[in-house]
Amino acid sequence: MRDEPLTIGGHTFTSRLMVGTGKYPDMDTMVRAIEASGAEVVTVAVRRVNLDRSKESSVLHFLDPKKIFLLANTAGCYTAADAIRYARLAREAGFNAFVKLEVIGDEETLLPDVAGLLEAAKVLVQEGFKVLAYTNEDLITALRLEDAGCAAVMPLASPIGSGLGLLNPFSVRTIKRRLRVPVIVDAGVGTASDACVTMEQGVDGILMNTAIAAAQD
């Protein structure tokens, strides 16, 4: 029996795991971990990387866009204007039209600024971007992001990098039940068991970074 493919914004993927590129001890470990994960979608923080693929100091130098689907993200952006600017920069640098949209509202917890997120999402959707929006586990915000035209909504399991697992299963389950677009849980999924519990809520996929990048092996 084969898993049903996942379609986001008209693009179909066979893996429901997405992974990040941050916090690895070195580039070789990153590449081997991504390959071992079987993930097709790999996120890249546009604000934090050298966009010149020819430079060996750039993460992009080690990632083959023919083998993986590079998803630009706006991590580190604290305003809608900043997030919009970096999304545009990614597209100009040769990324596809997909963007994982983050507008951070608090420097300590890295929780999202949902007002800024909605503002940026509306602009980017109008400009032809396929927006995957990182948000909190609030149903109303998720519905508004869907109404704004987002290709997927990405509620957090718990704060970014916390490894606390899925703190509010009911809210995530409700978001999945009410939305028509894919729901990908992002942030705080710290262990394999966390991933299992999260997928048991019926969501379409998960994104993991710290749990993989900071693992001992």
Which residues are known catalytic residues?
100
pLDDT digit string, tens, across residues 23-47? 776 777 788 888 888 889 998 888 8
**Domain boundaries defined on the chain:** 6-213
Residues for the chain: how many in total? 217
Mean local confidence (pLDDT), 131-143: 96
- Give the residues across from 134 on adjacent strands: 154
pLDDT digits (tens, 9 = 90+) for 52-95: 665 655 677 677 778 889 999 999 999 999 999 999 999 988 88
Task: Please report, rounded to a whole number, the percentage of residues in the chain having pLDDT higher than 70.
Answer: 89
Residue 1: the pLDDT is: 34
Place of tokens 């070789």: 28
Q: Is 117 exposed, middle or buried, given 0-12, 13-18 or 19+ CB atoms closer than 10 A?
A: buried
Mean pLDDT across the stretch 121-148? 96
* CATH C-level class of 6-213: alpha beta
Q: Give the pLDDT confidence score for residue 61 in this predicted structure.
A: 66
Quote the Cα angle for 138-142-145, to 5°: 145
Burial class (CB in 10 A: 0-12, 13-18, 19+), 163: middle
Residue located via tokens 């029996």: 1
Please tell me which residue, 166 or 66, carries the higher pLDDT value. Answer: 166
In contact, 21 and 212? CB cutoff 8 Å: no
Percent of the chain with pLDDT over 90: 52
pLDDT at 54: 59
pTM comes to: 0.88
Task: Give the tens place of pLDDT for each residue, 185-210.
Answer: 988 887 788 888 888 989 999 998 76
